């Protein structure tokens, strides 16, 4: 066991300035608690403090440089390495704050159950966030044992997620496990995301093996003292790394305009065919979108979701702009204040 068995590779090596100095002080973040990180270097785990002056806020899956060896008494994070991928969303409740979910993920499993919980618009939103993150999305359709028509669900997903692997599973019937396991390779990182109760933790236990706690090389912190409200990384018996996340009630992905355009190309490619250049696609005669919806070429649901994501993107841009304006205002005020003080002295 070493850092490489935790997914450390060339991408991170190339960021190391002084190999001899740094390599023994690098670790991966297993969990984040208030101001304290649980880290592991493939051999031992440790806790590290998070100074306020850090270059970026670490999250589960990050590789960090510490200020000492992992067996030191008191450790702090010195640096967070650039990420291979970063899954994030807008914080629920605070519409101008970005919340990282997991870093350096290879596969992001969107878990959704084949029952009333199933929601294509939400799935679309998860898919866009993953596309933006740099990870590969996989759709896991859970609770197949409770469903009479799994093929209906699979077809619906296929329509909105072209080229994305779809894996129907049942934990009690042990269906789909082989397909899931084929994604796992030593050092690969997976994250499971989705609403509460869809079976993420069940899936993670399923992947990691029932007797995970015993077989695992990574010794995990006492689960009893941390509630399942926090994200954490576990290691499966075959050496892949799996991140469990708490259910998300509200999911606003952070996506660039280009990502939206790419994902909704079926919609945007019709817009130039509207009769009027500035068509609002609401009431106009000769609107290609309205026509396509009417003809059933575009799903009304998908159109609404597209519009919602566009609106959210506009609002985010506004909020970010506002934030940076405020920051600059403060910088200028500080500067003026300092100048005054200097003038006086």
Ligand X SMILES: Nc1nc2c(ncn2[C@@H]2O[C@H](COP(=O)(O)OP(=O)(O)OP(=O)(O)O)[C@@H](O)[C@H]2O)c(=O)[nH]1
Contacts 24+ apart (CB under 8 A), 79-84: 79/54, 79/55, 80/54, 80/55, 80/56, 81/12, 81/15, 81/26, 82/15, 83/134, 84/11, 84/134
Residue 234 pairs in a beta bridge with 242
The entry of Zn ion, ligand X, none that residue 287 binds, CB within 5 to 8 Å by partner kind: Zn ion
Interface with Zn ion includes 298 (CB under 5 A)? Answer: no
Number of other residues whose CB lies within 10 A of the CB of residue 170: 20
Q: Between 180 and 288, whose beta carbon lies closer to Zn ion?
A: 288
Q: Which of residues 174-213 bind ligand X (CB under 6 A)?
A: 196-202
Q: Is 201 annotated as a binding residue?
A: yes
The entry of Zn ion, ligand X, none that residue 289 binds, CB within 5 to 8 Å by partner kind: Zn ion
Binder of Zn ion out of 60, 114, 127, 289 (CB under 5 A): 289
Interface region with ligand X, contact rule CB under 6 A, candidates 33-41, 165-173, 232-240, 333-341: 165-173
CB under 8 Å to 303, separation ≥6 — which residues?
267, 289, 293
Output the six-digit token pair for 10: 């060339």
* CB 269, min distance to ligand X, A: 36
Q: Which of residues 95-154 bind ligand X (CB under 6 A)?
A: 142-143, 145-146
CB under 8 Å to 293, separation ≥6 — which residues?
299, 300, 303
Task: Tell me if 142 sits within 8 A of 114, measured CB to CB.
Answer: yes
Binder of Zn ion out of 287, 292, 293, 309 (CB under 5 A): 287
Interface with Zn ion includes 37 (CB under 5 A)? Answer: no
Interface with ligand X includes 232 (CB under 6 A)? Answer: no
Output the CA angle 91-240-86, nearest 5 degrees: 25
Binder of Zn ion out of 263, 279, 293, 309 (CB under 5 A): 279
* Binding site residues, ligand X, CB under 6 A: 142-143, 145-146, 169-172, 196-202, 228, 246-247
The binding site for Zn(2+) comprises: 274, 279, 281, 287
Q: Which residues bind Zn ion (CB under 5 A)?
A: 274, 279, 281, 287, 289
């Amino acid at each position: 066991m070493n850092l490489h068995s935790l997914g450390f590779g060339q991408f991170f090596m190339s960021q190391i300035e002084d190999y001899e100095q740094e390599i023994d002080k690098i670790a991966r973040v297993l969990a984040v608690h208030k101001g304290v990180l649980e880290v592991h270097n493939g051999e031992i785990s440790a806790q590290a403090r998070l100074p306020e002056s850090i270059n970026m806020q670490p999250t589960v899956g990050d590789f960090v440089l510490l200020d000492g060896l992992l067996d030191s008494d008191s450790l702090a994070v010195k640096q967070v390495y650039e990420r291979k991928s970063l899954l994030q969303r807008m914080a629920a409740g605070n519409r101008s704050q970005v919340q990282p979910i997991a870093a350096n993920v290879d596969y992001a499993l969107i878990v959704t159950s084949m029952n009333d919980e199933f929601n294509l618009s939400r799935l679309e939103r998860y898919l866009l966030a993953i596309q933006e993150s740099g990870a590969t999305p996989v759709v896991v359709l859970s609770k197949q044992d409770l469903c009479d028509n799994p093929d209906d669900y699979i077809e619906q997903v296929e329509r909105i997620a072209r080229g994305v692997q779809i894996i129907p599973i049942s934990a009690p019937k042990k269906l789909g496990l082989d397909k899931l396991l084929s994604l796992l390779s030593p050092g690969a990182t997976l994250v499971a995301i989705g609403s509460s109760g869809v079976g993420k933790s069940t899936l993670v236990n399923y992947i990691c093996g029932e007797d995970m706690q015993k077989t695992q090389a990574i010794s995990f912190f006492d689960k009893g003292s941390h509630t399942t409200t926090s994200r954490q990384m576990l290691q499966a018996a075959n050496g892949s790394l799996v991140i469990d996340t708490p259910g998300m009630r509200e999911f606003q992905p952070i996506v660039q305009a280009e990502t939206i355009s790419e994902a909704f190309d079926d919609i945007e490619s019709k817009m130039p065919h509207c009769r009027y250049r500035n068509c609002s696609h609401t009431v106009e005669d000769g609107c290609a979108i309205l026509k396509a919806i009417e003809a059933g070429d575009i799903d009304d649901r998908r159109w609404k979701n597209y519009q919602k994501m566009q609106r959210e993107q506009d609002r985010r841009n506004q909020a970010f702009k506002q934030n940076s304006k405020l920051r600059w205002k403060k910088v200028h005020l500080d500067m003026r204040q300092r100048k005054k003080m200097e003038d006086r002295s």
